[in-house]
Structure 1
Amino acid sequence: MDIRKIDDDISVAPQITLDDVAEAARLGFKTLVANRPDQEEPGQPAMADIEAAARENGMAWVYMPVESGNVRDTDVHRFSATFQEAEKPVLAFCRSGTRCTVLWALDAARTTPAREIFTKARNAGYDISGLAPRMAQQSTNQ
């Protein structure tokens, strides 16, 4: 499992397996957020199976699918509400971890300087510099 820590409250990962769920729980993650639609790609684990594994391992489960390359403002608002209420730390996953990082960054842009967001994302292995205009818009739309 390729866990990429953004900060103490959230880490992201590419697609996880059923075995990864138990490992995530052992590592102390409290909430598992799936930002990948079920059956987005042939052969990916079924979200119902990952949900069952999360619950068996004492983790909260959130299924919040977001279309790849098309993170909408409504997705950011849903993520924001979910993230605020979630027991931390959160592990969010999608195909590569990028969607999860974008959701987090656009939400964080409302209260956090862009430079700090870019640094955290870069340290986790994601270049989200192309989001700068959209993040600036988020910061003015608090």
Structure 2
Amino acid sequence: MFIPITSTVSVAPQISADDVAAAAAQGFRTIVNNRPDGESFDQPAGAEIAAACAAQGLDYVAIPIDHTGFSLEQVEAMAAALANGPVLAFCRSGTRSCNLWALAAAKGGIAPAEIVEAAGQGGYNVAGLMPLLRQLAGA
């Protein structure tokens, strides 16, 4: 269920409070929620995931991404969360989480081609972000 993107970053579709224990057992230190509360009637509330993280000794960071897209503030928040890895980021399908990781990685100086390759190995196509990745990377 957890899809590795790099050795320290994985993404996932919606997780449950029960999945938090599995994440802790796999060595994750931080869980990032990229899904706004109330996006779907069947998703657990962020507070429920946050409580499960606290019970497992994991950091929980909420960086909700909605239909309006990504902001620089969200990219910077993700970059800060990545500093406390290994990180598991989730949303409805994992795509927003992977895209936000890609943007934060570029801002952190990782080469855009490496980012596209890493995401691709996880089954995600971030090539459409290439112009923005280059801009954030200063390339």
TM-score normalized by the length of structure 2: 0.92
Structure 2 equivalent of residue 125 of structure 1: 123
- Residue 35 of structure 2 is matched in structure 1 by 36
Aligned to 1:109, what secondary structure does the other structure show?
helix
Residue correspondence of structure 1 range 1-142 to structure 2 within 5 A: 2-68=1-67, 70-84=69-83, 86=84, 88-110=85-107, 111-140=109-138
CA distance in 2, matches of 1:72, 1:98: 16
Aligned residues: 138
Instruction: Give the deviation of 1:83 after TM superposition.
Output: 2.1
SS at match of 2:42: coil
Q: CA deviation at 1:93?
A: 0.6
1:17 positional shift? 1.1
Which whole-Å CA distance do the structure 2 matches of 1:108 and 1:29 have between them?
18
Q: Percentage identity across aligned positions?
A: 43
The residue type equivalent to 1:24 in the other structure is A
Cα offset for 1:136?
1.2
Root-mean-square deviation (CA, aligned residues, Å) is: 1.4
Structure 1: gaps of 5 or more residues: none
Structure 2 residue runs of 5 or longer lacking an equivalent are: none
What amino acid maps onto 1:36 in structure 2? R
Q: Distance between the aligned counterparts of 1:69 and 1:128, measured in 2?
A: 18
Q: Which amino acid aligns with 1:34?
A: N
- The offset of 1:69, in angstroms, is 5.9
